[in-house]
Amino acid sequence: MTDAFQALRARFRVRAGEELAQLQTLTAVSSDSVELRRLVHNIAGAAGTFGFPALSQAAIVIDDHYAAGEQPPADSFRTLAQALSDAATGA
Amino acid sequence: MSQLKILHVDDEPDIREVAELALSIDPDMEIRSASSGLDALDVLGGEGWTPDVILLDVMMPELDGPGTLQRLRALPGHSQTPVIFMTARAQAQEQQRFINLGAVAVIIKPFDPMILAGQVRDILAGAGS
């Protein structure tokens, strides 16, 4: 389990880098789109499973705003971007 | 411990893989995965393999978890198959909505892979009591 999980965790780090690029691309256009909501929701649901609870939490904050019909604050996207960067680089 | 056949449905390949890994901790669990609601309906509508429980992601493209649940209930032999929703939406109101739709429980994502198998066993033990 441990070796296999570590391999999945390493793969998730690569994915975090890709998702950071996606996040930057999508938020440059709009802070609310179907693609952005899906990206945020997927990060919220997955990151903690791979050992990145802070990343999940950053995404959950935004996901909760969307679920409540609210516009997420700009700061929350910056926090998510930083958490993705940390996960990708192992910071 | 009794053999338990599980169908796990999630559109994210990484999540399917880690869930398979997590559930394989229990040697008496037999796991199959489906990559979408439609894929799950194909598995359930086919011959020869019937799960004891279905772990169903809520937010999936094309056919989401609630839509999948509605359609699988119409399949022969699956009107009572226990379904556990898996979702990142942790609000109590949302969870209650999923229970009202007919799920036996909701597992909040992100899930802990070290305890997922035990969670499923505990939920089913509670549902059967």
Q: Chain A contacts of B113, Cβ < 8 Å?
A: 1, 5, 49
Q: How much of chain A, in percent, has pLDDT values that exceed 70?
A: 99
Q: What is the ipTM of this complex?
A: 0.82
Domain limits for position A35: 2-89
**Min Cα separation A32/chain B (Å):** 17
What is the DSSP code (8-state) at residue B103? Answer: -
- How far A5 CA sits from the closest chain B CA (Å)? 7
Task: Say which CATH number the domain at B101 has.
Answer: 3.40.50.2300
B129 pLDDT band, cuts 50/70/90, is low
Q: How many domains does chain B have?
A: 1
pLDDT band of residue B128 (cuts 50, 70, 90) is: low
Report the number of distinct structural domains present in chain A. Answer: 1
Q: Give strand ranges (E) for B1-129.
A: 4-9, 29-34, 53-57, 83-87, 105-108
Contact B15/A4, CB-based, under 8 Å? no
pLDDT in tens, B56-92: 999 998 999 999 999 999 999 999 999 999 998 778 8
CB contact under 8 A, B88 and A49: no
Mark yes or no for CB contact A60/B59 under 8 Å: no
Question: Which residue from B minimizes the CA distance to A5?
Answer: B18
Q: What domain range is B27 assigned to?
A: 4-127
For residue B5, give the nearest of B48, B53, B41 by alpha carbon. B53
Q: How confident is the model at residue A1 (pLDDT cuts 50, 70, 90)?
A: low
Strand, helix or coil for residue B31: strand
Inter-chain touch A46–B87, beta carbons under 8 Å: no
Residue with tokens 């699988």: B72
The confidence band for B48, taking pLDDT boundaries of 50, 70 and 90, is confident
pLDDT, one tens digit per residue, over A47-83 is 999 999 999 999 999 999 998 999 999 999 999 999 9
Inter-chain residue contact A42 with B12, CB threshold 8 Å: yes
